[in-house]
Each structure stands twice: as C-alpha cells, then as structure tokens.
Amino acid sequence: MKFLRQFGITTRLVVLSLLAFFFIGAAGMAGWMGARVIQENLKDVSNVRLPGLNFLIQADRDLQQLLVAERSLLFADPADKKLIERLKKEYEDNLRQSDERWNKYKKLPLDEPARPLIPQYDAARATWMPLSRAVVDAALSGDPAARQKAAASSLGDVGVKFEAMREVINQLTEIIEQAAKADNAEADASYDDTMFRLAGATTLALLVLAGFAIAITRSVTVPLKRTVAYSEAVSRGALEECLAVDARDEVGVLAECLCRMVSTLKDKIGEADSRSAEARAESERARQASAEAEAARRMAESAKRDGMLHAADTLTGVTGVLGSASEELAAQIEQASRGAEHQMQRVSETATAMEEMNATVLEVARSAGEAAGSAESARDKAVSGQDVVRQVVAGIGQVQQTADQLKADMAELGRQAEDIGRVMTVINDIADQTNLLALNAAIEAARAGDAGRGFAVVADEVRKLAEKTMLATKEVGQAIAGIQSGTRRNVGHVEDTVQHVQQVTRLATESGESLGVIVDLAASVSDQVRSIATASEEQSAASEEINRSIEDISRVSAESAEVMRQSAVAVAEMAQQTHVLQGLIRKMREDG
C-alpha cells in the first residue's frame, strides 16, 4: 500500500482499468480461440466429413442397386418387356447417380490419405464399366446361351472387378471415420485447454482486481480519513495535533499543505498573542502615566493651598519624570504599533496561504472527480467487454445449432443405411426362393428322366446362381452393417461435439458473469472515488472556515494597531500638556 501512495489517484485508477481490460481481453481471447478450434472441427465435419461420407454411402448404395438390376435382368423373362425396361432404367439411373455422387465427392477438399485412392477408383471403374455393359447387353439380347455366359461372368470376373471398385469406397469411408476421430480428439483437447484458460483467467482476474481495488481504496481512504480527522481537530482549536501521512499523491500534497498551514497559523497566533501582550503592557503604562498626571494636578492644587513655591518645586520634578515617561511610552507605543502592523501583514500572508491551500484542496477534489470519471469509463469498458462475451456466447450457440443439424443429418444417414439393409434382406429372401425353386425344378427334372436332363442342368445353374446371389447379398449386408456402424460412431462423435459446444457455451456464460463482477467492482471503485471527492469538498469547506478565522484575527490585529495609534496620539497630547505644565511652573516661579 505504501508503494501505491507514491503514485497519483488517477494513475492508480488507470492501472486498475488497464488490468481489467487485460483480463477481459485474455478471457475473451481464450474463449474465442477455443470456439474457433471447435468451429473449425465442426466445419470440417459439416463441409467435408459428412458430405463425403454421404456421397460415398449414396454412391455405394447406387452401385448395389445397379448390381441388383444387372443380375435381375439376367434372370428376368425376356418376354416381359415392361419388367425389362424397368430394370434397364434402374441400371442406367443408378449408374448415372453413382457417377454424379463420385464426382461431387472428388470436388471436396480431401485428406491427404484419400487422394491416392481417387485414381485407383477411377481405374477400377473404367475396367468394370465395359464388362458390366457387356453383361447387360447380353441380358437384353434374349439369347439363352449369351445370358447364361453373361450370368457366369457377372458372378465371376465382373463381380470381382465390382468388389475391387467397392473396396476403394470402403477404404475412403474408413479414412473419413479416422479423420472424424482425429477431429473429435482435437475438439476434446481444445475443450480442456479452453476450460483451463477460462477458469485460470477468471480466477486470476477476480483475485488480482479485487486485491488491487482494495489496495487502491485503502491507499486513498486511510490517509484521507486521517486528514479529515486532523482538519476537524484543527477546526476545534487543537493546533498541537500531528498529521502522519506518508504519500506523494494528491492526498499527501493536501496533508502537507494542511500541516504547513497549521504551523504558520500557530506562528501567527503566537505573534499576535505576543503583540497583544505588549499592547496591554503599554496600555497599562499609559494608564499609570495618566494616574500620575492626575496626582500631579492634585498636588499642584495642594501647592496653591500650602505654598505655591514648594508645590512648584515638587511639580517641576514630577513633570520632568512625567515628560520622560511620556516620551518613553510614546516610543514604546510606536514600536508596538509597528509590531501590530507587521503582525497584521503576516496574518494577511497567512490568509493568502490559506486561500492557496484551499485552491489546492479544490484541485484535489477536481482530480478526484476526474478519477471518478475514469472509473466510470473503466466500468463502461467492462460492460462493453461483457457484451463482447455475450456475442461470443451467441456465436457458440449458432455453432451448437449447426452441430445439432449435423446430428440430425447423421441420423438420417443411419436411417438410409437401414433402408439399404432392408432392401438387401428382400434380395436375400428372393435368392432363397430362387434356390428353393431351382431345387424343386431339379427334382421334377429327375422325375422326368432323360427328357428332363437339360432342364436339370439349367436348374442346377439357377441354384448355383442363387447361392452366389445369397453369398453376395451376405457380403453386401456385412458392408451395409459396417456402414451403419460407422454412421452410428459418427453420430456419437457429433453428440460428443455437441456436448463440448454446450460446455464451452457454459464456460463463456460464466466468463460473462465474471465480467459482471468486474463491472460491479469498477462501479464500487467509482463510488469510493466520488466519496473521496466529497471528502475533499468537505476539507475545502473546513479550510474556508479556518480562512475566515484568520481573517477575524487579521481584523482584530488591525483594530489593535488602530488602538495603538490612538494611544500614541493620546500619549503625545499628554506629553504636550506636560510641557505646558512645565511652562506654567516656570511662570509661577518667575511670578513668585
């Protein structure tokens, strides 16, 4: 606290305001950095991860539906033109959609591990496409031998090429899942770091600002209370009181000026008392001289009765003594008059010093008013910082809404994957029925003997095709299950991100509440500075009262000087009358 007293009140308040601004900026910066990292992660998830995963899942679904349409064409009745056209249209639509979604995926800002897989997929697709077209053309030709050969190709080499192309999509899906996990880990780390920074900055800000505010308040109020108590004691006449204020600020200057004023006042009052005592002594001597003159007059009258000559001799001695006493008294009264005039001049100088000190007190009051204005400005800046934190909370709320929307989108993707699973279940059921029908056909062909041998071969091929279809459907089902699992994991990651955003929102809200506490501290400091200004004004009023007392002393000194001048005139007249009396005595001697 002694260290703070070496600086002015305005400087202390400016330092307090700068500290408040620093901690507000630190808390805001910590919250902004954490929110920015989380926002970047959410942007990656919403603009890259989710769209990429969506395009890949949709493209994979289109390819699966394309494969179903391709193989359905192989086993469809060529005479059913309506069914053939519908399956052909499904094949073409799914082929076009898979190509469009793949091109959209390639336009996204892809991760580094995904980029080498793009040409692999394009190469695999370019290899598979002509073969698949050949299978479809054979299915549309209506030639049983060509259809049987195309079916074997679809379940063989063409199927292998198809699975190689889908394997690239699976790898890209795994890369997106790993990137989503990395984003989630980064969001967790950013959350922990943001929480630590906000908690540390808020706690440190409250401790430092509260301690500094208390220290500033005590560094001002304690010396000011001592100064006010000293002024009250001086106004009651206790001039021997001591004021111990060790400070270089406005209050210290005020206390020093007050001490000098009281010291000067004591000196002037002492001089006034001394001059008054001298004046009383001289007045007493003048009164005694007048009494002696009256006694001389009575002795002169007695001399007329007892003897003019004897009385004249006696009066000669008396008038001589009276004349010398009158001259000496006149000299002393003149000296006392000069002392009274000097005292009046010194009292006037004291009054001037009091006026200067009063001006200093008013300047201190003005400085305290300016300091109150600075504290008010600091409170306004803290309110502005609180508004900024509210805006940060609002921005994080928007990020949270975006995360909620992403969560809903991921749930929708999960439902679409489940729809694909149901379609695959239907395909599996169809394969089971086809296998059962092939078995029944083989049984009937066996009953027909040699006539049904060719039909038995066809039935056996249909059974094998149904088994391969079931196997492929099982593999597709596993792939769809993997996609569903990945989608659920991504939904979990998005939910974690939403929770982190909610926690960051809560921390930012707590930061805003802490700034509210800082605003209250600034308001309290402003009120205390106003109290200082009020106390300074009261000190100014006390100084004015002392100034009026000094003016009264000056007036009394002036009156004393005037009385001394009148006494000097009276003594001079008495000396003149003594000379007249001596002349009468000489005349009486000459006549006698």
pLDDT at residue 167 above 90? yes
- At residue 255, the 3 state secondary structure works out as helix
Burial (CB < 10 A; 0-12, 13-18, 19+), residue 478, is exposed
Least trusted range by pLDDT, from 30-44, 121-135, 520-534: 520-534
pLDDT at 399: 61
Cα distances (Å, whole numbers) of residue 430 to 120, 436, 466, 467, 473: 33, 10, 9, 11, 10
Chain Cα centroid distance, residue 383: 8
Residue-wise pLDDT for 332-368, tens only, equals 656 656 765 665 666 566 667 566 666 665 676 576 5
**b or e along 11-23 (b: 16 or more beta carbons within 10 Å of the residue's beta carbon)?**
ebbbebbebbeeb
- At residue 72, the 3 state secondary structure works out as helix
Mean pLDDT for the chain? Answer: 73
pLDDT at 173: 92
User: Residue 145: which of 74, 77, 87 has the closest Cα?
Assistant: 74
Highest-confidence segment of 186-200, 214-228, 436-450: 186-200
Q: What sign has the CA pseudo-torsion 85, 86, 87, 93?
A: positive
- The continuous run of DSSP H or E covering 189 comes out as helix 157-235
pLDDT tier for residue 92 given thresholds of 50, 70 and 90: very high
pLDDT at residue 203 above 60? yes
pLDDT tier for residue 10 given thresholds of 50, 70 and 90: confident
What is the pLDDT averaged over residues 301-306?
56
pLDDT at 332: 62
Between 509 and 556, name the one with better pLDDT.
Answer: 509
pLDDT at residue 512 above 80? no
pLDDT at residue 475 above 90? no
C-alpha 57/C-alpha 98 separation (Å) is 10
pLDDT at 89: 94
pLDDT at 160: 93
C-alpha 165/C-alpha 33 separation (Å) is 42
DSSP at 4 = G
Percent of residues, the chain, with pLDDT higher than 70 = 52
C-alpha 515/C-alpha 202 separation (Å) is 8
What is the pLDDT averaged over residues 185-202?
85
pLDDT at residue 162 above 80? yes
C-alpha 565/C-alpha 571 separation (Å) is 10
Q: Which amino acid is at 133?
A: R
With tokens 């220290």, the residue in question is 215
Query: How close are the terminal C-alpha atoms of the chain, in Å?
Result: 95
Are 55 and 193 a contacting pair, CB within 8 Å? no
Between 171 and 326, name the one with better pLDDT.
Answer: 171
Here the contacts of 268-277 (C-beta below 8 Å, separation 24 or greater) are 268/343, 268/346, 268/347, 268/350, 268/550, 268/553, 269/239, 269/553, 271/343, 271/346, 272/343, 272/347, 272/553, 272/556, 272/557, 275/336, 275/339, 275/340, 275/343, 275/557, 275/560, 276/560
pLDDT at residue 6 above 70? no
Are 328 and 267 a contacting pair, CB within 8 Å? no
pLDDT tier for residue 279 given thresholds of 50, 70 and 90: low
Between 249 and 229, name the one with better pLDDT.
Answer: 229
pLDDT at 29: 79
Answer whether 0.95 is exceeded by the pTM.
no
Burial (CB < 10 A; 0-12, 13-18, 19+), residue 313, is middle
Are 359 and 1 a contacting pair, CB within 8 Å? no
User: Residue 40: which of 372, 489, 327, 403 has the closest Cα?
Assistant: 403
C-alpha 404/C-alpha 412 separation (Å) is 12
Q: What does the block give as tokens for 502?
A: 């909610």
Please state the φ and ψ torsions of residue 395, each to the nearest 5 degrees: -60, -45
Residue 236: other Cβ atoms inside 10 A = 9
Cα distances (Å, whole numbers) of residue 121 to 14, 101, 168, 475: 66, 13, 6, 20
User: Residue 502: which of 30, 32, 35, 29 has the closest Cα?
Assistant: 35
pLDDT at 35: 73
pLDDT at residue 103 above 90? yes
Q: How do the domains of the chain map onto residue ranges?
A: 221-375+537-591
pLDDT at 277: 76
Residue 576: other Cβ atoms inside 10 A = 12
Burial (CB < 10 A; 0-12, 13-18, 19+), residue 85, is exposed
Residue-wise pLDDT for 563-579, tens only, equals 556 766 665 676 676 67
pLDDT tier for residue 136 given thresholds of 50, 70 and 90: very high
pLDDT at 552: 67
With tokens 């509440």, the residue in question is 513
